[in-house]
Amino acid sequence: MLWTTLSDQEIYSGWWGDGPHYEEWTDGHRTLIVARDPHGTPTLVRLISPVASDYLRPEWQPGARLR
């Protein structure tokens, strides 16, 4: 049962669409959540790491293009 004041269209909009495809990459102790655009280019969405200095690296900031 779903209790909300939002309409079904607002809740499920884009549910089955051609949105980004997410992948989870593991690099040592880090986990990178990556989205691929329609051309297949990976973009970092989220970094999960127990090391605080990982969050300061510019190549691992959200929105960074990956290879």
Task: For 10-47, write each residue's pLDDT tens digit.
Answer: 777 765 666 678 899 998 999 999 998 888 889 999 99
- The pLDDT value given to residue 1: 65
Instruction: Tell me the pLDDT of the chain averaged across its residues.
Output: 86
For the sheet with 21-27, list strands across it.
21-27, 30-36, 42-48
N-terminal to C-terminal alpha carbon distance within the chain: 43
- The pLDDT value given to residue 63: 93
At 18, list the tokens: 């051609």
DSSP category for residue 59:
G
